[in-house]
C-alpha cells in the first residue's frame, strides 16, 4: 500500500517545508525559553555549589545575602568558628554593580573575600589562569565571562584593581559574572561616599557640641573614623566538619548568636522559590502562549491542506478507502509537520543558544518533553481537519 500522506507531502513539499520552517522557528524559540529557565536555575545552583558553603549566616529576619540585603558585623565569623560542627567560617560581601573595563561598562557581582585563603567558603574555586588574591588591596580575580584578562585593570567605584587570576562559572543568581576583590576593599566600596559628602559629614560632626567637646582631645577624631569605616559584611559562609548535622549547627548559631542561618536546602528554596520565581512564571507564560500559537498554526495549516483535498477525499471514499486510512493520512501529515518542525527548532535553538548573553541550558530531558508536547499538539490540532474529512460524503464525488 502506498503512503498517501507521504505522496501528498512530496507533491506539495514547498508548502510543507515552509510551514515546517515557520513552525520550527517557533519551536526553537520555545525550546530556548525553556533553556533560559534552566539556565537561571543552573546559575542559582552553581552559585550555591561554587560558594563551597554548607551554611549561610545572615542578619536576623532577612532572606540574605542573595534574595535580600543583610549586614552583620565583620567579627561575627570568630564566634561562628567556635560553634560545634563548624570547620571554617569566612566573611563575604556581595555588591552587584557596573565595573569599568577600558571604555566600557560590564555588569558584575563584586565579591569581597579574605585574601590569601583559597579554598575557604566564598572564595573563587577553580582558576583557569593566574593566581588567587594574596594582597589585602587592589587585586582581583575575575570570571572569564567578564572579558577581563590577567594584567587588565578594573575600575570599581573609585579604585583600580589589577586582575591577577581568572575563574569560570562563578555567577550571581542573576547570571552576572563575579569579580573577587579583597574584603577590606569590598567593604569600602559598599560604603564609599563621595568626597563632598565626606566633607559635609565631618563638618556636621564637628559642629555637634556633644561630639566635639572642648577638653576631650581625640574624641572627634575617633567619632569621624568610626563613621567612615564599614565594619559590616553581608554574610558569613560556613563549611561544616565532615559528618556534622547542618540543621543542628544552624540551630545552635541561631540560638546563641541571634543570627539567621540557612542550610543548603533552605538556600535553594529561597533562590528558586523566591528570587527567580517571578521570572520563571514569566517564562511559563511565554511557553503557554508559544504553545498555543504553534498549535493554532499547525491546526490552520492541516485544516487548509485537508480542505484543499475535499474532492480527492470524496473520491477516495467513493472508491472504498476506509475512514481509518483517511484519518491516518491526515494524522501522519500533522505528525510529519511536527517532527520536521521539532528538528528545525532543535537545530535552531542549539545554534543560537551560545549567542544569548545569559546562560541558556538546553537539556536532553526538556527536548524529549518538548518533542512529546509537539506531537500531542499536532495530533490535537488535526482534530478539526479530521472531523471535516470524516464529514465528507462520498456522494459528493459523483456530483449532480
Partner 1 sequence: MAERQTRGIIIEGLRKRYGAGETAVDALKGVDMAVSPGEVVGLIGPSGSGKTTLLKCLGAVIEPTAGRMTLGNDVIYDGKWRIKDLRALRRDRIGFIFQAPYLIPFLNVTDNVALLPMLAGHSDGESRTRAGELLEALDVAHRASAMPSQLSGGEQQRVAIARALANRPPVILADEPTAPLDSERALSVITILNAMAKQYETAIIVVTHDEKIIPTFRRIYRIRDGRTEETAGEGRSTEKPETGKPEEERA
Residues that bind partner 1 (CB under 8 A): 1-2, 4, 7-8, 10-12, 311-312, 315-322, 325, 393-395, 397-400
Which among Mg ion, partner 1, none contacts residue 318 (Cβ within 5 to 8 A by kind)? partner 1
Binding mask 341-380 for Mg ion (x = CB under 5 A): ----------------------------------------
State the Cα angle at 258 between 257 and 261, rounded to 5°: 90
Handedness of CA 58, 192, 74, 237 (dihedral sign): positive
Which of Mg ion, partner 1, none sits in contact with 1, Cβ below 5 to 8 A by type?
partner 1
How is residue 381 written as a grid cell?
490540532
11 binds, among Mg ion, partner 1, none (CB under 5 to 8 A by kind): partner 1
Residue 117 interacts with, from Mg ion, partner 1, none (CB under 5-8 Å by kind): none
Q: Which is nearer to Mg ion, 285 or 395 (CB)?
A: 395
Q: Which three cell numbers stand for residue 328?
A: 491516518
What long-range pairs does 155-161 form, CB within 8 A, spacing at least 24? 155/99, 155/100, 156/97, 156/99, 156/100, 156/110, 156/181, 156/189, 157/97, 157/189, 157/192, 158/192, 159/185, 159/188, 159/189, 161/185
Between the alpha carbon of residue 395 and those of residues 51, 104, 311, 316, the distances in Å are 75, 74, 10, 11
**Look-up: residue for cell 551554611?**
55
- Asked if residues 397 and 318 have their Cβ atoms less than 8 Å apart, the reply is yes
Q: 214 vs 154, 199, 200, 218, CA distance in Å?
A: 45, 21, 21, 10
Q: State the nearest-atom distance from the C-beta of 300 to partner 1, in Å.
A: 21
> HSE-up of 195 (CA within 13 Å, CB side)?
1
Per partner kind, with CB cut-offs from 5 to 8 A, the member of partner 1, Mg ion, none near residue 395 is: partner 1
Q: Which is nearer to partner 1, 77 or 303 (CB)?
A: 303
7 binds, among partner 1, Mg ion, none (CB under 5 to 8 A by kind): partner 1
134 vs 304, beta carbon nearer partner 1: 304
Beta carbon nearer to partner 1, 216 or 319: 319
Of the pair 10, 229, the CB lying nearest partner 1 is at 10
How far is the C-alpha of 133 from the C-alpha of 114, rounded, in Å?
8
The option from partner 1, Mg ion, none interacting with 220 (CB < 5 to 8 A, set by class) reads: none
Cell reading at 71: 549586614
Between residue 381 and residue 400, which ones bind Mg ion under the rule CB under 5 A?
Answer: 400
The site partner of 288 among partner 1, Mg ion, none (C-beta below 5 to 8 Å per kind) is none
Using CB under 5 A, count the residues that bind Mg ion.
1
Residue with Cβ nearer partner 1 (11 or 135): 11
Q: Please identify, using beta-carbon distances, which residue of 347 and 398 lies nearer to Mg ion.
A: 398
Closest distance to partner 1 from the beta carbon of 317 (Å): 8
**For cell 562563578, what's the residue?**
170
Q: Which is nearer to Mg ion, 292 or 395 (CB)?
A: 395
Smallest distance from the beta carbon of 314 to Mg ion, in angstroms?
16
Q: How many CB atoms lie within 10 A of CB 210?
A: 7
| Residues 6+ away with beta carbon under 8 Å from 132 | 115, 116, 118, 123, 124, 141, 164, 165
In the complex, least distance from residue 398 CB atom to Mg ion, rounded to whole angstroms: 8
> Is 8 or 42 the residue whose CB approaches partner 1 more closely?
8
> How many angstroms from the chain centroid is the CA of residue 336?
34
Tell me how far, at minimum, the Cβ of 341 lies from partner 1, in Å: 21
Choose the one of partner 1, Mg ion, none that binds residue 321, judging by a C-beta under 5 to 8 angstroms depending on kind. partner 1
Strands (E), 102-188: 104-113, 127-130, 139-143, 153-156, 159-167, 178-182
Written as nine digits, the cell of 260 is 539567621
Residue 315's binding partner among Mg ion, partner 1, none (Cβ under 5 to 8 angstroms by kind) is partner 1
- Shortest spacing between CB 315 and Mg ion, in angstroms: 17
Task: Please identify, using beta-carbon distances, which residue of 159 and 328 lies nearer to partner 1.
Answer: 328
Interface positions with Mg ion (CB under 5 A): 400
Amino acid at each position: 500500500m502506498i503512503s498517501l500522506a507521504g505522496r501528498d507531502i512530496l507533491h506539495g513539499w514547498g508548502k510543507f517545508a515552509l510551514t515546517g520552517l515557520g513552525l520550527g522557528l517557533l519551536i526553537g524559540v520555545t525550546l530556548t525559553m525553556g533553556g533560559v529557565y534552566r539556565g537561571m536555575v543552573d546559575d542559582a545552583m552553581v552559585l550555591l555549589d561554587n560558594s563551597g558553603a554548607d551554611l549561610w549566616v545572615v542578619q536576623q529576619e532577612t532572606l540574605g545575602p542573595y534574595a535580600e540585603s543583610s549586614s552583620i558585623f565583620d567579627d561575627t565569623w570568630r564566634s561562628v568558628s567556635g560553634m560545634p560542627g563548624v570547620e571554617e567560617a569566612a566573611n563575604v560581601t556581595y555588591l552587584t554593580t557596573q565595573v569599568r573595563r577600558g571604555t566600557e561598562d560590564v555588569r558584575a557581582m563584586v565579591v569581597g573575600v579574605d585574601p590569601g585563603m583559597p579554598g575557604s567558603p566564598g572564595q573563587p574555586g577553580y582558576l583557569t589562569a593566574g593566581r588567587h588574591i594574596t594582597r589585602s588591596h587592589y587585586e582581583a580575580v575575575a570570571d572569564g565571562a567578564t572579558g577581563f584578562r590577567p594584567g587588565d585593570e578594573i575600575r570599581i567605584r573609585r579604585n583600580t584593581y589589577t586582575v591577577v587570576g581568572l575563574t569560570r562559572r562563578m555567577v550571581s543568581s542573576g547570571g552576572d559574572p563575579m569579580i573577587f576583590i579583597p574584603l577590606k576593599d569590598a567593604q569600602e566600596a559598599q560604603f564609599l561616599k563621595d568626597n563632598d559628602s565626606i566633607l559635609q559629614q565631618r563638618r556636621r560632626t564637628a559642629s555637634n557640641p556633644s561630639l566635639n567637646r572642648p577638653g576631650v582631645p581625640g574624641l572627634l577624631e575617633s567619632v569621624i573614623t568610626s563613621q567612615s569605616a564599614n565594619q559590616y559584611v553581608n554574610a558569613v559562609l560556613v563549611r561544616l566538619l565532615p559528618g556534622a548535622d547542618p540543621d543542628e549547627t544552624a540551630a545552635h548559631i541561631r540560638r546563641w548568636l541571634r543570627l539567621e542561618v540557612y542550610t543548603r536546602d533552605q538556600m535553594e528554596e529561597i533562590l528558586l522559590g523566591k528570587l527567580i520565581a517571578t521570572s520563571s512564571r514569566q517564562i511559563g507564560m511565554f511557553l503557554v502562549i508559544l504553545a498555543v500559537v504553534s498549535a493554532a498554526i499547525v491546526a490552520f495549516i492541516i485544516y487548509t491542506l485537508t480542505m484543499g483535498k475535499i474532492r480527492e477525499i470524496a473520491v477516495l471514499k467513493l472508491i472504498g478507502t476506509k475512514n481509518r486510512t483517511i484519518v491516518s493520512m491526515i494524522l501522519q501529515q500533522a505528525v510529519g509537520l511536527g517532527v520536521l518542525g521539532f528538528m528545525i527548532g532543535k537545530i535552531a535553538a542549539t545554534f543560537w543558544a551560545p549567542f544569548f548573553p545569559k546562560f541558556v541550558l538546553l537539556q536532553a530531558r526538556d527536548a524529549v518533553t518538548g518533542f512529546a508536547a509537539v506531537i500531542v499538539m499536532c495530533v490535537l490540532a488535526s482534530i478539526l481537519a479530521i472531523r471535516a474529512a470524516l464529514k465528507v460524503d462520498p456522494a459528493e464525488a459523483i456530483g449532480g
